[in-house]
Amino acid sequence: MRTAGGAGKSMFLDIEASKDWVSVERIAKGWSSDRKYLAETQDGERLLLRVSDIGQFDAKRKEYGIIEKFSRLGFEMSAPREFGVCDGGRSVYMLLSWVEGSDLEETLPGLTEGEQYLRGRQAGAILRKIHSVPLDPADVPSQTKREKKLLQLARYEASNLRIPNDAIAIRYVRENIDQIWQEPPCYLHGDFHPGNLIDMRGGTIGVIDFNRWEVGDPYEEFYKLESFGTEVSVPYCVGQIDGYFEDSIPDGFWTANAVYVAQASLYSIKWAEKFGQRDIDGMVARAKAAFDHYDAFTRTVPKWYTNEYRIKYHRGGDTARQEEREP
């Protein structure tokens, strides 16, 4: 077996499936604390291996169970193959299928406007499926995240990283915090944005990286459109919302989403502090963009959301794509 990127063969000896592997390569991309590897079998199949400290065994076993639930929903994803202990009992691992393709955040800029929007609609429909999984009674949280969001906001307020004119956003969050968690809690992907979606052949989207799954307000999944989506593709962002709600968006969504956006825009600046000035600057730029999109949070529907893309491209996918290419 060939290994690369700091992957030692001894780590994998306890994994029965590794007998068929011809190579293992470390994957450095991503924010997860998991060690991730791309394994290739003798038959040319590629697999994703995620390895964590043995102290996370219970949490990772639960995560694997959640991935199993999602894998029954009928969309392409990094599906479960095997779970267990490796590295002489020092680590826990999960083996998942590999989703072939490129990150959607990389491919979106090269697609037509209509294709971007339709990718977003597809992503929204997938997210709706994820939120449809029946919630086990034992997983129902005893409290909402309202208090946590306010504590995070207070950490930002007490920092030396505050940005000009942030008071109106702080006030908006505090005055409207009760507007989040109005919907029944459900299983969340936890990090649903183009960086965790794979553009596969034929325009199909695959979903990866479920390690931030949680149970919570379904509307919380959407604030990352502002943080990580609009700078890549506005049509995609509009499409994800339209697809999720099947073109009938409730008023309560916009209010709750604006609260999440305002809170995350500020707290993310403090959160980025541990990664250095470059990441802080990036979050500051995103916060300023959000302030502009929401008119300093005097509006709940962002400027970038319009019906334009739905009218132009949702008459039937293939027809809309073809007409956009025609002169």
pLDDT of residue 1: 55
Integer Rg of the chain from CA: 21
More reliable by pLDDT, 7 or 144: 144
| Confidence check: pLDDT of 91 > 60 | yes
> In percent, how much of the chain has pLDDT > 90?
85
How far apart, in whole angstroms, are the C-alpha atoms of residue 250 and residue 5? 48
pLDDT of residue 321: 47
* Boundary residue ending a domain (40, 66, 97): 97
Residue 51, domain extent: 2-97
How far apart, in whole angstroms, are the C-alpha atoms of residue 242 and residue 232? 18
| Confidence check: pLDDT of 326 > 70 | no
* CA angle (241 as vertex; 235, 246 as ends), nearest 5: 115
CATH number at residue 75: 3.30.200.20
How far apart, in whole angstroms, are the C-alpha atoms of residue 311 and residue 264? 31
The reply to whether 130 and 278 lie within a common domain is yes
How far apart, in whole angstroms, are the C-alpha atoms of residue 286 and residue 214? 25
| Confidence check: pLDDT of 4 > 90 | no
**Hey, which residues does 23 pair with through a beta bridge?**
2, 40
Count of structural domains within the chain: 2
pLDDT of residue 31: 61
The reply to whether 14 and 57 lie within a common domain is yes
The reply to whether 177 and 244 lie within a common domain is yes
How far apart, in whole angstroms, are the C-alpha atoms of residue 221 and residue 205? 17
pLDDT of residue 34: 83
* Burial class of 86 by CB neighbour count within 10 A (0 to 12, 13 to 18, 19+): buried
The reply to whether 151 and 127 lie within a common domain is yes
* Boundary residue ending a domain (72, 97, 122): 97
More reliable by pLDDT, 129 or 87: 129
Average pLDDT, the chain: 92
Closest CA to 309 of 120, 117, 122: 117
The reply to whether 158 and 283 lie within a common domain is yes
**Hey, which residues does 77 pair with through a beta bridge?**
207
| Confidence check: pLDDT of 19 > 70 | yes
Q: Six-digit token pair at 81?
A: 């193959």
* Boundary residue ending a domain (97, 113, 141): 97
pLDDT of residue 169: 96
The reply to whether 166 and 278 lie within a common domain is yes
| Confidence check: pLDDT of 324 > 50 | no
| Confidence check: pLDDT of 325 > 70 | no
Q: What is the pLDDT of residues 39-69, one digit of tens each?
A: 999 999 999 999 999 999 999 999 999 999 9
pLDDT of residue 160: 96
pLDDT of residue 32: 67
**Range 137-166 average pLDDT:** 96
Q: What is the pLDDT of residues 190-234, one digit of tens each?
A: 999 999 999 998 889 999 999 999 999 999 999 999 988 999 999
CATH number at residue 287: 3.90.1200.10
Task: Write the DSSP symbol of residue 193.
Answer: S
The reply to whether 154 and 212 lie within a common domain is yes
How far apart, in whole angstroms, are the C-alpha atoms of residue 29 and residue 102? 13
| Confidence check: pLDDT of 265 > 80 | yes
The pTM of this model reads: 0.90
The reply to whether 86 and 172 lie within a common domain is no
pLDDT of residue 317: 46
How far apart, in whole angstroms, are the C-alpha atoms of residue 247 and residue 239? 9
157-to-14, 161, 219 alpha-carbon distances in Å: 48, 8, 25
The reply to whether 113 and 76 lie within a common domain is no
The reply to whether 294 and 171 lie within a common domain is yes
More reliable by pLDDT, 152 or 17: 152
The reply to whether 81 and 155 lie within a common domain is no
The reply to whether 79 and 116 lie within a common domain is no
pLDDT of residue 127: 98
Closest CA to 175 of 59, 258, 268, 109: 258
Within the chain, where are the H helices?
57-70, 104-107, 113-131, 146-157, 167-176, 223-224, 234-245, 251-271, 277-293, 308-313, 317-325
